Amino acid sequence: MTNFSLRLEKIAKDPQIFRSLGRGIERESLRFNSDGHLAHTPHPKALGSALTNRFITTDFSESLLEFITPVNNDVDTLLDQLTDIHAFSDSNMGDEHLWPMSMPCFVGNEDDIQLAQYGTSNSGKMKTLYREGLKRRYGSLMQIISGVHFNFSFPDSFWDALFGQQSEKEREESRSAGYFGLIRNYYRFGWLIPYLFGASPAICSSFLQGKKSNLPFEHIGKTLFLPHATSLRLSDLGYTNHAQSALKIGFNSLEQYLSGLSKAIRTPSEEFARIGIKVDGEYRQLNSNILQIENELYAPIRPKRVAKDGEKPSEALARGGVEYIEVRSLDVNPFSPVGINKTQIRFLDVFLVWAALSDSDLMGGCELECWRANWRKVILEGRKPGLELQIGCQGEVLSLTEWAKRVFSEFSEVAKVMDQVNDDHRYSDVITELADWIMHPEKTLSSQMLEKIKETGGIGSLGRALNQHHSDFYRQYQLRHFSREVLNQEAIESLEKQRKIEKSDSMDFDTFLSDYFACLHTNAFA
């Protein structure tokens, strides 16, 4: 038996493991007007405070909503929660709507994109200033691209099955090592996610703001597309960031990761220094380092731990190790009213279990760049017949189709065990369905999207048509998990929490920032 099969056999002995997987979803969506233009109105007051509401906040822009579910062990309940939050929000947006795609709708002028506002507290002003820095560093357009983040964790029983009895410190170290093994395998094989679920093969020409692109775009009216692209959101046009390409942040251990992240936060950037930090009494960015704060690191997957009050994400990791991972490479599924569906979630369950159980050798910089090159090829031409990917740094290649078929054979083993626990065949059905997408790329989300764009005449018309369908769904939908009273109460209480935070501030903003970064520079993980 292979190491993978032996590990799978170990965890299969405890059925409760697969009933205790932790999942949470964060879905981003732009508010837009009926004419397809980006909304310029403030965050709807009926949705509460973007600073403190547990379920509804904003990301980069006032118009970029973010919906957040609690952690859940049941796929159906998770999607019910997400749908409740969407339907509640839609009913409190007046004549505005939720844009159903990752790439933005029509943007008249980049300067029209309003930065997210979080009130007058020091913490709220810092969040807005961080976004001001992003705007000046990378431009606002990249920041209003929407995505879906999938948070995932294993129960303690999973690690018990793999490692047996351990001391608390040993368990913390082995759990973190296990998650980093998963992360390395995600870099090796995660290109499957944009291949299957990438849904941004096209962009509105307004997204380029008149700039030329070196990509060989074709066009349908004012919509630009690449015929075999899967996820332009993940390309150099989107979240991928040239300014961070020189960062050497490794994933061989928690210590290596934190050391690289710490260096990036502390290393000055000549390019960003030219922007200035505070000019004529007005802040332009938090600082002029390569990363203002660690959240600025763009990555398709992140190790995470729930932070305590006042604790930075890296401090939380240094304190207790990795608690869960955040998958960040999912496009918004435009055919789902909530941007993701059960098929995708169950595939991610299988993929992440497989990635944690499979061998995962340490990864040097050369190998990491090989895997990133594979991602780029799949992102720009993933449905191209005969596409070949690298299988290491020695120049060996294998077709995407053949490599995916090999991996899916082991996915089937995981799915079979998960189905035995649940006494059904839902996971096996998902793997069977998606294996067929490997052989028939026309079934992938990106191919379906491109066909619909061609049928309707462009992104704008397709976006409005999909929104009409989703809006009808929201109006007819009956809340299943959260009551309207609960969501209303959360909105009301969040506004009061914001007022209390603002009232409790005891120092000026300059001192607040100085203290924040002084603490950062004396941190134990440096």
Report pLDDT digits (tens) over 139-154: 998 899 999 999 999 9
Please give the C-alpha separations between residue 363 and each of 181, 294, 318, 380, in angstroms, as whole numbers.
Answer: 10, 22, 21, 24
| 421: confidence class by pLDDT, cuts 50, 70, 90 | confident
Average pLDDT over residues 23-42: 92
**Which comes out higher in pLDDT, residue 37 or 386?**
386
Rounded CA-CA distance 61/63 in Å is 5
Rounded CA-CA distance 433/92 in Å is 37
Rounded CA-CA distance 243/263 in Å is 15
Average pLDDT over residues 163-174: 95
Q: Are 135 and 119 in contact (CB under 8 A)?
A: no
Chain position carrying tokens 């048509």? 465
Q: Which DSSP letter does residue 231 get?
A: B
Percent of the chain surpassing pLDDT 70 = 97
Report pLDDT digits (tens) over 459-469: 999 999 999 99
Amino acid type, 139: G
Rounded CA-CA distance 351/322 in Å is 19
Report pLDDT digits (tens) over 321-339: 999 999 999 999 999 999 9
Amino acid type, 30: L
**pTM reported for the whole predicted model:** 0.96
Instruction: Report phi then psi at 443, rounded to 5.
Output: -90, -10
What is the C-alpha R_g of the chain? 23
Chain position carrying tokens 């939050």? 85
Percent of the chain surpassing pLDDT 90 = 85
Q: What is the pLDDT of residue 525?
A: 42
Note the residue count of the chain: 526
| 241: confidence class by pLDDT, cuts 50, 70, 90 | low
Amino acid type, 143: Q
**Which residue, among 102, 309, 303, has the nearest Cα to 202 in the 3D structure?**
102
pLDDT at residue 229 tops 60: yes
Chain position carrying tokens 């991928």? 240
Q: What angle do CA 455, 460, 465 make, to 5 degrees?
A: 65
Average pLDDT over residues 277-303: 95
Q: Are 116 and 43 in contact (CB under 8 A)?
A: yes
Looking at the DSSP bridge assignments, the partners of residue 301 are 327
| 526: confidence class by pLDDT, cuts 50, 70, 90 | very low
